[in-house]
Amino acid sequence: MRPIFIALDFKNRTEVWNFLAEFPELDGLAVKVGMELFYMEGPDFVRELIARGLRVFLDLKLYDIPHTVEQAMSQLGRLGVSYVTVHGSGGAEMLQAAKRGLVKGSQELGVVGPKLLAITQLTSMSEHQLKSEQLVNATMAESVVHLARLAYENGADGVIAAAVEDELIHQATSSAFLTINPGIRLENDAQDDQKRVVTPSQAVSLGSDGIVVGRSITSSTNPVATYQLIKQEWERK
Ligand SMILES: O=c1ccn([C@@H]2O[C@H](COP(=O)(O)O)[C@@H](O)[C@H]2O)c(=O)[nH]1
């Protein structure tokens, strides 16, 4: 089943449990823990979520020299999470180091390792910013596909990209290479920092292997109803 990850972008565990208390069933629910929450609550809280039956995507977007990334990933591999992230622009050596670290850590724990997802270009980045701020002399699609291929050739299990890029990524890599898409917005959501956005049903049509939804759910007046609505849209196709 392709996951819908709810981004738990909250300040602390109290806010998380208050939010999750509204959900009738936690077992099997897919959530994403990012920097905001992890920097406050740390690995024990991640283990606590897993113990409650949640599938955890730990989105720390590692970016450092290969040795540091390898050691850090081996720590994350011991946590029992299902997915982790690294920046693809860190290069081939860094991606390989990330994979080695994950394999080492998860083998020590005796579990199947988490899937390694490489960030291509953040969904908050526009075509204009790519050129003017990063001085990238390629289109957004070319840059994303290039980074996806690099990730594919160097041990990643998939990438994070905008759903509009999924088809090109699958063509350049393999249909089994995962494309996980944040930048998901509902029809009536206000414009914010996300630049490359689609609705959940557009993501399905574009070949998405999983979506990440934060504020559309967490800031909703009825988060559970909004989640169910997105789930229906997601599963309709
Ligand atoms: O390119 C990326 C990579 C990661 N994210 C993360 O996904 C969620 C999206 O939250 P929304 O509130 O739905 O915008 C957030 O945790 C980001 O850190 C991303 O948006 N884009």
Where are the domains positioned within the chain? 4-235
**Calpha distance 51→149 (Å, rounded):** 35
- CB 210 less than 6 A from any atom of ligand 1: no
- pLDDT value at residue 82: 97
- pLDDT value at residue 155: 98
- CB 115 less than 6 A from any atom of ligand 1: no
Compute, in angstroms, the gap from residue 110 CA to the centroid of ligand 1: 30
Q: What is the pLDDT of residues 148-185, one digit of tens each?
A: 999 999 999 999 999 999 999 999 999 999 999 999 99
Annotation marks residue 195 as catalytic:
no
Nearest CA to ligand 1 atom 20: 182
- pLDDT value at residue 110: 86
- pLDDT value at residue 237: 62
DSSP assignment of 155-197, as one string? T-SEEE--GGGHHHHHHHS-TTSEEEE--B--TTPPP-S--S-
Annotation marks residue 64 as catalytic:
yes
CATH class of 4-235: alpha beta
pTM for this predicted structure: 0.97
Regions in the chain scoring below 70 on pLDDT: 237
The strand pairing partners of 181, in sequence order, are: 211
